[in-house]
Amino acid sequence: MFSYLRERFASRLRERSRRRARLVSKDGRCNIEFGNVEQSRFVFLIDIWTTILDLRWRYKMTIFISAFLGSWFLFGLLWYVVAYIHKDLPEFNPSFNHTPCVENINGLTSAFLFSLETQVTIGYGFRCVTEQCATAIFLLIFQSILGVIINSFMCGAILAKISRSKNRAKTITFSKNAVISKRGGKLCLLIRVANLRKSLLIGSHIYGKLLRTTITPEGETIILDQVNIEFVVDAGNENLFFISPLTIYHIIDKNSPFFHMAAETLLQQDFELVVFLDGTVEATSATCQVRTSYIPEEVLWGYRFAPIVSKTKEGKYRVDFQNFSKTVAVETPHCAFCLYNEKEAKAKEKKGYDNPGFVLSEVNETSDTKM
């Protein structure tokens, strides 16, 4: 038992040591940080709307609550100052015929309650502004306008946060692994993608980027060098009818960066394949992008995806997501170069070729028959 646990622990350590750093996680988040940024962080306040939308919910709600409580308390202090200057408070013992600026403000607590009632337009009718003070009337107008601005900004920010299109992207899922096998007589890299909602993505477009470290002829090392990877579907990669899971594939030809890779050397490669799906949400007409990535350990050579769509007796099409990422081993050439050489060899077998080393020699025939 102890030896088994020791082997498991050692295998976990080896797996973690082999784990590669990836730029894009499986759920689409980017693993990157910015250091030594010369610009001040106050530049983010210039685009305050995007800054608020990018904040996490806990920070957004903290700002939301602080903005309202802070404005209520600030104007409560101002109403208290107005009452204090006009000597409306009980400690000044106002006369019976004294007309206060605001009725029934007896202290800081009542001033805060009047500020709250004014900004949220509750209007209990117990406290109200009189025509005695122009300062109070101006303060009432200013607080009402500012309250409307705060309400509009905060409610709009929360609504925009809830309806952001990246939440729709969470219902688009990619297969856990990519596979390499023959499709249509060609060696292809295949990935499966599914839409978990019945509503469509309009104008969907799928493409990929291969990230790797390259060295230029001048000796410059480029980290995260990007190479375009073209993905196609049998119906085309533009305006997909994305109602059922689709299998997208990249043809590994002589122009593909996977052409010089083989089944034996795939795990030794250092690359990250990032796949993007762009589309427009049918319900909101907002554009969204879904992305995921695959590292060499997640690319299976010599496999294909198991069938996922079937037809029931009732005539309905059923999608079994239990087989969504399931793969089946198939016979596959161990490299693209071998597949193309095999095709060329078969093509030559169907043709005749002259042998330049063959020399025809003439033979003189003699007859042994005597007449």
Q: Which two tokens stand for residue 96?
A: 């019976």
pLDDT at 40: 62
In this prediction, residues 56-63 reach a mean pLDDT of: 89
pLDDT at 50: 83
Q: Which two tokens stand for residue 224?
A: 């995260």
In this prediction, residues 192-199 reach a mean pLDDT of: 84
**Residues 269 and 296 sit within 8 Å (Cβ to Cβ):** yes
Please list, in sequence order, all residues whose beta carbon lies within 8 angstroms of the beta carbon of residue 216, skipping any fewer than 6 positions away.
Answer: 222
pLDDT at 225: 86
DSSP string, 226-290: EEEE--B-TT-SBS--TTS-EEEEEE--TTSTTTT-BTTTGGG--EEEEEEEEEEETTT--EEEE
pLDDT at 126: 82
Biggest alpha carbon distance in the chain? 169
In this prediction, residues 178-204 reach a mean pLDDT of: 86
Nearest to 178 by CA among 16, 19, 292: 292
Span 250-282, pLDDT tens digits = 999 888 889 888 888 888 888 899 999 888 887
pLDDT at 341: 66
Residue 66's region, left for phi above 0, alpha for psi from -120 to 50, else beta, is alpha
Helices (H), the chain: 2-18, 48-54, 57-85, 108-119, 134-162, 165-168, 336-349
pLDDT at 37: 66
Architecture of domain 52-163: Orthogonal Bundle (1.10)
pLDDT at 299: 92
In this prediction, residues 204-216 reach a mean pLDDT of: 87
Residue 161 has pLDDT above 90, yes or no: no
In this prediction, residues 212-223 reach a mean pLDDT of: 83
Q: What is the mean pLDDT of the chain?
A: 81
Please report the sign of the dihedral spanned by the C-alpha atoms of residue 114, residue 120, residue 126, residue 127.
Answer: positive
Q: Which of 33-42, 272-281, 285-294, 341-350 has the lowest mean pLDDT?
A: 341-350
Residue 333 has pLDDT above 50, yes or no: yes
Residue 362 has pLDDT above 70, yes or no: no
In which band, very low, low, confident or very high, does the pLDDT at 39 lie, cut at 50, 70 and 90? Answer: low
Architecture of domain 168-348: Sandwich (2.60)
The model's pTM:
0.68
**Residues 305 and 175 sit within 8 Å (Cβ to Cβ):** yes
| Domain range summary for the chain, segments of one domain joined by + | 52-163, 168-348
**Residues 308 and 245 sit within 8 Å (Cβ to Cβ):** yes
- The highest-confidence range among 27-31, 139-143, 230-234, by mean pLDDT, is 139-143
**Residues 172 and 194 sit within 8 Å (Cβ to Cβ):** yes
Per the model's pLDDT, the better-predicted residue between 362 and 36 turns out to be: 36
Span 283-326, pLDDT tens digits = 777 788 888 999 999 999 999 999 888 888 888 888 888 888 89
Helix or strand or coil: residue 64?
A: helix
Measured between its terminal Cα atoms, the distance across the chain in Å is 103
Residue 234 has pLDDT above 70, yes or no: no
In which band, very low, low, confident or very high, does the pLDDT at 8 lie, cut at 50, 70 and 90? Answer: low
In which band, very low, low, confident or very high, does the pLDDT at 47 lie, cut at 50, 70 and 90? Answer: confident
pLDDT at 18: 47
* Domain 52-163 matches domain 168-348 at the CATH topology level: no
